[in-house]
Amino acid sequence: MDEPLLAGGALPLEVAVVALPDDKPATRRSQLLRQKNFLAGVVLLCIVIIPVLLGPVVSSVGPDVQNPALSFLPPSLGHLMGTDQYGRSIWARVVYGGRYTIGASLAVVVLGGIAGTALGLVAGYLRGTVGFIIMRAVDLLLAFPGILLALGVTAILGPSLVNAVIAVAIVAVPLYARIVEGAAREVANLPYVRAAKALGSGPGHIIWRHILPGALPGIIVQTTVYLGIAALWIASLGFLGLGVQPPTPEWGQMVSDGQASLSIAWWAVVFPGAFLAAFVVGVSLIGDALRDRLNPTGAGT
Amino acid sequence: MVIYAGKRLAALIVLLIGIAILVFLMLQLIPGSPVTALLGQSATNPAAVAKLTNELGLNRPLPVQFWRWLEDAVRGNFGYSYNNQQPVSALLAQNLPSTVELAGAGLLISLVGGIALGVVGAVRRNTAADSVSMGIAMTLVALPSFWLGLVLILAFAVALPWFPVVGGTSLRGLVLPAFTLGLGVLGITGRFVRSSLLEAMHSPHVAAARAKGLGRRTVFVKHVARNAVLPVLTIVGLQVGSLLSGTVLVEVVFSRPGIGRLLVQSILSKDYATVQATVLIIAGFYAVTNLVVDLLYPLLDPRVGGT
């Protein structure tokens, strides 16, 4: 899913058949569409994130308050999203659970992003043997389907939220490293970087001041794209029992909790998953719009 | 062509060895000795410990151990699953067919649906139909598959009792799991088909064909679609990875037998021999599929492979 080739988005559409191959005007209409998508993404994210941030303000009960007398109540004004088998409020659990799913995904992109960027910068700027070894290791990690790699890492580390974050971050490392390495390689050859080198700037200075800014658009795009994937995988690991452990309300773990009573209490499954889906769709809408803007060469073609 | 195929094959072998090394090292990274990890509850039996230590050659250097393990794996001997009381190869043989069945059905659904969405998006580009089909594609990519599966169960097994809740081995039991798996991948295919069709529409030879006075349909079928096949083939190769990893969640949701569920169960029960074997099989299969795609390329596009 990290392929820039997968972008739908902006193409010189009105001019379709007769356009010259390198003619790439973004038509007004496709620009508008892009803005609309971006706005839709922001709105979706706000719907999801605001209650999660407000937490106790929007939920009078805590996520772990049990009340057997209230078990399996359907959604109503008193219980917005109904209750589960222990009488816990699903709304409260969804609102508090978002902190785990979203927080863990953010941790994933920060950890994986920093490690992958560092490796990519080193490999792209220094090249040589070190660069070669780093990039072959990257190729090897990319040979595993992502979730399989994450599962393998959790098999080693054991199931927990922190280990799930580490596992999903490890999957992100080669993705960042590949993008950053390409950008760094390109920038390192530009005349102004060669000039800086000739003037006696050290490698640290050059990487920080010249190479990193050049790689930044790619890093930003990769981060928005991967944030959604990270949320999906953190929740998937939670669902499989390999991430967050009960009773912590993480969205994927909540879906797994609700599965047992699916036929009598659909709300325990539908709502946490819907919040997760809305978060991921929102992030990908924004990611696509950013990709078209920041990365015009990769967009659409 | 022969040189091209040889190079690809050599690269595949290097890659497979790399994958094998990583999977082998997995066991070394687990805290505690590999013997206790592999034996699980049987680790209290000194005879079993001594026997396995000898079999693994743990007193030998690491490369020797790796070579032994690899030799066994290539012969189809992946060790013994003490949790299941049977050889890992037998477990794989029991579970592999239903996973292949599921992944195949999922691939079919994702291709049919994805091509339909992509063609609509490309032909009716920048219209409401395009927005709707690409909106569907994006949403499907973003939906958590484990949740989609449960929602499909709610709709088509609980509310409308058309299909069984638990996917058995029957054909009817395959429908919901296959759709859950296929719908997740379909979005990527759709977006990819759309962009490669659009790219083909912009090539000079298409403009020439139009200028020659050929009809839209003829141009689309003969000049656009043909050139869009290649990129789509690549994505099919990549999707085998998504499909195989998708089976992990789908098999758990529908309690279907398969190597995905086997992998999760063996991670949870710390049955490391089985974990190693399933990871090796899935990653190896993924690498081989991508080689097959690479080799199909020059057959469809004579420009590749000549250089």
What does the H/E/C string look like for A245-285? Answer: CCCCCCHHHHHHHHHCCCCCCCHHHHHHHHHHHHHHHHHHH
Q: Which residues of A touch B154 (CB under 8 A)?
A: 262, 266, 269-270
Which residue type is seen at A164?
A
Q: Which residues of B touch A277 (CB under 8 A)?
A: 139, 142-144, 147
Contact status of A7 with chain B (Cβ, < 8 Å)? yes
Share of chain A above pLDDT 70, in %: 86
By Cβ distance, the residue of A5, A30, A145 closest to B282 is A145
| 3-class DSSP string for chain B | CHHHHHHHHHHHHHHHHHHHHHHHHHHHHCCCCHHHHHHHHHHHCHHHHHHHHHHHCCCCCHHHHHHHHHHHHHCCCCCEECCCCEEHHHHHHHHHHHHHHHHHHHHHHHHHHHHHHHHHHHHCCCCHHHHHHHHHHHHHHHCCHHHHHHHHHHHHHHHCCCCCCCCCCCHHHHHHHHHHHHHHHHHHHHHHHHHHHHHHHCCHHHHHHHHCCCCHHHHHHHHHHHHHHHHHHHHHHHHHHHHHHHHHHHHHHCCCCCHHHHHHHHHHCCCHHHHHHHHHHHHHHHHHHHHHHHHHHHHHCCCCCCC
State the nearest Cα–Cα gap between A202 and chain B, in angstroms: 35
> In this model, does residue A12 exceed pLDDT 80?
no
Residue A11's pLDDT is what?
A: 31
Angle between helices B88-123 and B171-201 (to 10 degrees): 40
pLDDT in tens, A22-62: 334 455 666 666 778 888 889 999 988 888 888 777 777 77
pTM above 0.80, yes or no: yes
> In this model, does residue B95 exceed pLDDT 60?
yes
**Mean pLDDT computed over A240-249:** 87
Residue B180's pLDDT is what?
A: 92
Highest mean pLDDT among B51-60, B77-86, B297-306: B77-86
Domain A35-49+82-298 has CATH 1.10.3720.10: yes
Share of chain A above pLDDT 90, in %: 27
Q: Which residues of A touch B287 (CB under 8 A)?
A: 143
Radius of gyration of chain A (CA): 23
Give the tokens for residue B18: 């790399």
pLDDT-based confidence at residue A177 (cuts at 50, 70, 90):
very high
Across-strand partners of A89?
A83
> In this model, does residue A7 exceed pLDDT 80?
no
Assess: ipTM above 0.90. Answer: no
Size of interface A-B (CB pairs under 8 A): 179
Task: Specify burial of residue B49 (Cβ count, 10 A radius: 0-12, 13-18, 19+).
Answer: middle
pLDDT in tens, B200-247: 888 888 888 888 888 878 888 777 777 777 777 777 877 887 888 889
pLDDT in tens, B120-143: 888 888 788 888 888 888 888 888
Residue B307's pLDDT is what?
A: 44
Q: Do B144 and A259 touch (CB under 8 A)?
A: no
pLDDT in tens, A79-95: 777 777 777 887 888 88
